[in-house]
Structure 1
Amino acid sequence: MSETKVFEMTKTWQRDVHTHYCPGCMHGVAHRLVCEAIDELGIQEDTIGIAPVGCAVVMHQYIDVDFIEAAHGRAPVLAYGIKAVRPDKIVFSYQGDGDLASIGMGEVVHAVNRAWPLTIIFINNAIYGMTGGQMAPTTLLGQRATTCIGGRDAKVSGYPIRMSEMLATLAGPAYIERVALSQPKYIMQAKAAIKKAFKNQVDKKGFSFVEVLSTCPTNWGMRPVDALKWVDENMIPYYPLGVKKDFE
């Protein structure tokens, strides 16, 4: 497939700018999957995105749909406000683990439990990326970060939070799935999950949440290829892939 064909298929990927993401970061892949889902569903003119505080804070520079910037962790609340006044729009938030699972924990739990047709794309790279590599709620046991240089210790910092499993215990969400971007086969599965999360909102089926296991080679202190292997060997065993809840 030629480069021209790829860009013809993904019309929302229109902005000709240099990425600010580090080499090996998978945010770009996740953005692309969001764009492909929007294109294939034909909802570009009706979609409103909520950008997070974190590495994806300027994702509006890459994706040509309407965007609003949320305060740290408050993206689900802002999404609900938009959906309340414009129920005809397709509203989604795109958040990292620090934004969603730490400062935004209360917001996401109550947003998911309210069960409105909204979509959240949750990027889990097990660390705070933008602010310098601090331990996140999702940092694995033994994993090093700038705030736990000896590795995360459960006795000191508790255990990594499995957001998908926790949210799946609520009555509100219609669809929750965890996917990964570390292998081509996983990327194809991630595309299907993200598209379903948007399609559910189009069909007014309820709240959809897709957790995406991603890499942070810079803050992990790894080469990009090694970071992909680290996802497979360390993250997936603790954060198993698959559907956690699906009303269908």
Structure 2
Amino acid sequence: PFATGIKLGRPELLVTVVSGDGDLVGIGGNHFIHAARRNIDLLVVLVNNFIYGMTGGQNAPTTPLTAKSSTMPYGNYEQPFNLPHLAESCGAVYVARWTSLHVRRLTKSFKEAIARRGFRFIEVIAPCSTLYARLNKLGSGFSLMKFYHDSAVIRNGADTRDVSISFQDQIICGKFVDRERPTFSDMMREHYRKVLGDKYVPMPPEGGMMHDTDAEDSGKANKSPKARKRESAKAEPRKGDDASE
């Protein structure tokens, strides 16, 4: 919600959210789906370690079936989220998944996502050797990275319905979605132009920088009518003043 507020208040900024699976699709799931539905111009990076790593290793919305956690020591029986499909179905314009081993491909996805407008989602599968690996007897962090190397399958353009993750099974990676859709601000500007006509004063467009005009002119153009009236009043000489002095 803070990122949404920042983007709506300062639409010229590039706003990026980096968070874990528990925060984004557990505790913050409601905010996640509606930001995607509205197509808020955000880059969202979800670091998925399949568990609540900072609070004791509890079961998370992404914990694979049969995987163990501190709250499900005999194995998880809840169906986990398929995150790329969740993001796509809610309206994300860019969806990708990589592991922390795929450094170059992940870097390329960051660059591609930054260049686009709208709700962009990148899932990064990352190891939790302290809790998830220990509870499931998966070995060290190095062992997990080796598992990523052996089990990751790159399928760019794969149907997101088919990329769910099972316990210690293959991990389908790649860029799955890359499309265009009007952003929340695009829709808002178009709506109020139709409703209010010349009375509507739009805010700067998204994109990480101001519009093509210079910053001073852009700032003046995007001030409210009341603010412009106050500035005009300050510039005019008061009654009784000699403007020639």
TM-score, normalization: structure 1? 0.60
Q: Secondary structure at the match of 2:45?
A: strand
Structure 1 equivalent of residue 141 of structure 2: 224
Provide closer, same or farther for how the CA distance between residues 131 and 96 of structure 1 changes in structure 2, counting only shifts above 3 A: same
The correspondence of residues 1-248 of structure 1 with structure 2, limited to 5 A, is: 77-153=1-77, 158-170=78-90, 172-182=91-101, 186-200=102-116, 205-219=117-131, 220-221=133-134, 222-231=139-148, 233=151, 237=169, 239-247=171-179
Shift of 1:247: 0.8
TM-score, normalization: structure 2? 0.61
Provide closer, same or farther for how the CA distance between residues 213 and 144 of structure 1 changes in structure 2, counting only shifts above 3 A: same
Shift of 1:116: 2.4
Shift of 1:236: 7.9
Identical aligned residues as a percent: 33
Q: Secondary structure at the match of 1:164?
A: helix
1:68-122 CA-partner distances (Å, limit 9, x unpaired): xxxxxxxxx1111001111111111111011011111111000011112211000
Q: Secondary structure at the match of 1:218?
A: coil
RMSD: 1.8
Instruction: Structure 1 unaligned segments of length 5 or more: list them.
Output: 1-76
CA contact (8 A) 2:97 2:175 kept: yes
CA distance in 2, matches of 1:112, 1:245: 13
Instruction: Structure 2 unaligned segments of length 5 or more: list them.
Output: 152-165, 181-245
Aligned residues: 160
CA contact (8 A) 2:66 2:167 kept: no
Provide closer, same or farther for how the CA distance between residues 199 and 236 of structure 1 changes in structure 2, counting only shifts above 3 A: farther
CA distance in 2, matches of 1:199, 1:173: 15
CA contact (8 A) 1:213 1:235 kept: no
The structure whose Rg is larger is: 2
Write the letter of the residue equivalent to 1:115: N
Q: Secondary structure at the match of 1:177?
A: strand
CA distance in 2, matches of 1:239, 1:160: 14
